[in-house]
Amino acid sequence: MRGSGSPPPDGAERLRPGGERAGPRLRARIGAGVAAAFRATLDALLPPHCLTCEAEVAVQGTLCAACFRGLGFITEPLCARCGVPFAHAGQADARGLCPGCAAAPPVFAAARAALRYDEGAKRLILPFKHADRTDLAAPLAAQMARAGAALLARADLVAPVPAHWRRRLARRYDQAALLARAVARRAGRPCVPDLLRRTRATPALGDRGAAERAALVAGAFALRRGGAARVAGRRVLLVDDVLTSGATAEACARVLLEAGAAAVDVLAAARVPDPRLASGAAA
Ligand SMILES: [Zn+2]
Ligand SMILES: [Zn+2]
C-alpha cells in the first residue's frame, strides 16, 4: 500500500526549493547568486517546469501534480523507534514497535524519514545524489522537517552521516551535509557538518544481511578532533539521504554515544520500506 495517508495540505508549497548551494562558502554564495539571477531570467522567459519532469507548473521549484502524487509520504502508522511504515496499525507490538526493533532495538532513540524510497522518491533523490541537482536539497529538507518535526524540536545539534572523502571528491558535494544544513536552518538548530568522519570507505551494503552490514560499517566512523566537547550531554540528530538497513546510522550513533552524547536520533529523506511489513501481515 502506498503512502497510507494524503500528503500534507501545503505539501506542494513545501516542495519549493530555497536556492541553497554546496561547496566552499564564498564560491557557494557567488554560485547561488548567479544561479538565482539565471533562474529569475529563465523564469521571465520560459514557463516554469516541474522539479523532476518536463511538465509545466505554475510556480518555479514545485512538482507537477502527477509527480507529487507519485511520492509515497511516510505517515502513521509507523514503528515508534525506527520509523518503518506499517501497512496497518496491527503490525505494531504493544509498545508500538516493529518486529525488528522489538527483537533488537537500535542504539539510536528514533529514526524518521519523509518518503518511501520507491520510484517516485528516486526521481527526486537520484538526481540529487548523482546529477549535481543540489537545488533539490531544499525541497527534500522541507519534507524531512515535516516527518522529523519532533526529532528536530528536541535536537541540540544536527550532523550528517559522513561520506568518505574520496566519494565526496568524486561528487564535488556531500548530499547528507546539504540536507543536514537545510533541515538545521529550517529548525533554527546548530549544524556541525564535520562532526563525524569516515575513517575508511565502506562497500555498498545493498543486499547483505543485517549481521554482515553491521560488520562492514563497524569502526568505519570516528568523531572529528575536539568533537567530544560538542556532543557531551547533547542530543544529536543524524541526517542522511536514504536509510536502508539502519546499519550506517547505527554505527554513527554508537560513536556519538560512546563520546557522551545524551541520545541520538536519525532523520532521512527516504527510507527503504521493510518488505515483510509491506505485505500487510501482522507482527
Ligand atoms: Zn512532474
Ligand atoms: Zn522498528
Query: For the segment 108-139, what is each residue's pLDDT rounded down to a tens digit?
Result: 999 999 999 999 999 999 999 888 899 999 99
CA of 255 to the centre of ligand 1 (A): 40
Ion ligand 2 — residues with CB under 5 Å? 79, 81-82, 98, 101
Residue 76 and residue 63 share a domain: no
- Give whichever of 7-21, 37-51, 255-269 has the largest mean pLDDT: 255-269
Tell whether 267 and 171 lie within a shared domain: yes
Residues 101 and 56 in one domain: no
Condensed to tens digits (0 to 9), the pLDDT of residues 188-222 reads 999 999 999 999 888 777 777 778 888 888 889 99
How many angstroms does the Cα of residue 43 sit away from the middle of ligand 1? 17
* C-alpha distances in Å from residue 61, one per residue of 23, 125, 170, 214, 273: 21, 15, 27, 38, 27
- pTM value? 0.82
Residue 4 lies in a domain: no
- Asked whether residue 6 is domain-assigned, the answer is no
Q: Tell me how many domains the chain contains.
A: 2
Q: Is residue 28 part of a domain?
A: yes
- d(CA 3, ligand 1 centre) in Å: 18
Distance 56 CA to ligand 2 centre (A): 39
Residues of the domain holding 50: 11-67
In the listed set 67, 92, 112, which residue is the last one of a domain according to the structure?
67
Domain boundary among 67, 84, 109: 67
Ligand sitting nearest the alpha carbon of 266: 2
In a domain, 188, yes or no: yes
Could you say which of 46, 67, 88 is where a domain stops? 67
State the Cα–Cα distance between residues 270 and 140, nearest whole angstrom.
9
Is residue 58 located within the same domain as residue 79?
Answer: no
Cα 235 off chain centre by:
18
Q: Which ligand is nearest to the CA of 53?
A: 1
Q: Determine phi and psi for 79, rounding to 5 degrees.
A: -65, 130
Strand 157-160 and strand 110-116: pairing?
unpaired
Clarify whether residues 158 and 248 are in a common domain: yes
Contact 20, 137 (CB under 8 A): yes
